[in-house]
Amino acid sequence: MILPERPRRLRQSPAIRRMVRETRLSADQFISPLFVREEEKARHPIASMPGQYQLGFYELEEEVRKIQDLGIPAVLLFGIPSKKDAEGSSAWDPEGVICKSIERIKKCCPDLCVITDVCLCEYTSHGHCGIIADTRRGTRDVDNDATVEVLIREALAHARAGADMVAPSDMMDGRIGAIRDALDAEAFEEVAIMAYSAKYASSFYGPFRDAAESPPSFGDRRSYQMDPANANEALREITLDLEEGADIVMVKPALAYLDIIRQTADTFSVPIAAYNVSGEYAMIKAAAAQGWLDEKQTVLEILTAIHRAGASLIISYFAQDAAKWLQR
């Protein structure tokens, strides 16, 4: 047969496939999320996230050494405090779980990039991402501007403890600009902001809420996280966060939102992070445990797809496994 093109010619051997591959994954792109308990020694398995643990400070040090040895440049920290209150005051306690974690990591792995999740849901007794107030509609909801004030305190506490980057995940309006101004006013202009810009109200966060012990005690997060049906709104959120000073923007979750990642990459020339969230992890773990999916092949395929869609950085609970697989 005479054909004008034979695309299979470039698929015939592993060597040629390697040469023409358009997307390459590397450990350099990964950010490893970690859950830290306010205890010296702890390693509590997270039931809905097999292979993930709530770590004590000692185990955190062991874990970050492994992460660094695998060539992963960054960790993203979530804290499980020993006490919670309505304001989430342990979130900005200089002796609190995250500030202590940062100090411990900076002592053992000073070159590792330490990113902190800036949000209140892990620290509030009601599990919402901010300060609750009565609304004019007679309901109770997260008060935007009161929450921003508290998020500023939290971001400053993390910066003072030595964080390299803060990642506000609350979805309040105006928080990126407010945090940027507060950091600059204290001469933390080198502390970067990775904004959870397009964060959807997603059922894929279920296992995380077990892991971080942070489910909302009433209602849901739909008055602050985005409607999964909206794409234009994501671009507006990203535009605002960039205008307010975000250095990196994030789309979250990743797999059901690859179109949002692609539109973001086509529209803006900034680094884009995608969060391969807890539910995406749990689905693969559950299917692999049944023998229904090949875990390694599936994970490398989805991480490649997230990168191909336009994310230059990937936050994933698979980061360490993937880094090991990529070494071989």
Q: Does 131 bind ligand PBG (CB under 6 A)?
A: no
Q: Specify burial of residue 218 (Cβ count, 10 A radius: 0-12, 13-18, 19+).
A: exposed
What is the C-alpha separation between 215 and 210, in angstroms, rounded?
7
Beta bridge partners of 115: 76, 165
Binding positions for ligand PBG, 149-208, rule CB under 6 A: 169, 205, 208
Least gap, CB of 84 to ligand PBG (angstroms): 14
Sign of the Cα pseudo-torsion (169, 175, 178, 180, in order): positive
Applying CB under 6 A, among 55, 121, 131, 234 the residue interacting with ligand PBG is 121
Least gap, CB of 208 to ligand PBG (angstroms): 3
| Amino acid type, 73 | P
Q: Give the pairing of strands 30-37 and 140-142.
A: unpaired
Applying CB under 6 A, among 117, 154, 237, 241 the residue interacting with ligand PBG is 117
Residue nearer to ligand PBG on the CB measure, 188 or 208: 208
Residue nearer to ligand PBG on the CB measure, 23 or 125: 125
Kindly report the number of other CB atoms within 10 A of residue 319's CB atom. 24
**Binding characters for ligand PBG, 54-73, by CB under 6 A (x = yes):** --------------------
Catalytic-residue membership of 199: yes
Q: Does 278 bind ligand PBG (CB under 6 A)?
A: yes
| Amino acid type, 245 | G
Q: Give the pairing of strands 248-252 and 192-199.
A: parallel
Residue nearer to ligand PBG on the CB measure, 56 or 207: 207
Q: Does 129 bind ligand PBG (CB under 6 A)?
A: yes
Q: Does 277 bind ligand PBG (CB under 6 A)?
A: yes
Residue nearer to ligand PBG on the CB measure, 56 or 79: 79
Least gap, CB of 182 to ligand PBG (angstroms): 20
Query: What is the torsion angle, in degrees rounded to the nearest 10, for the CA atoms of residue 130, residue 119, residue 203 and residue 136?
Result: 20
What is the C-alpha separation between 96 and 83, in angstroms, rounded?
10
Applying CB under 6 A, among 119, 152, 172, 322 the residue interacting with ligand PBG is 119
- DSSP H or E stretch at residue 142: strand 140-142
Q: Annotated catalytic residue: which of 84, 252, 285, 296?
A: 252
Binding positions for ligand PBG, 208-227, rule CB under 6 A: 208-209, 221
Residue nearer to ligand PBG on the CB measure, 58 or 228: 228
The closest of 105, 239, 78, 107 to 167, measured between CA atoms, is 78
What is the C-alpha separation between 239 and 132, in angstroms, rounded?
27
Residues annotated as catalytic are: 199, 252
Judged by the rule CB under 6 A, the positions of this chain that interact with ligand PBG are 117, 119, 121, 129, 169, 205, 208-209, 221, 277-278
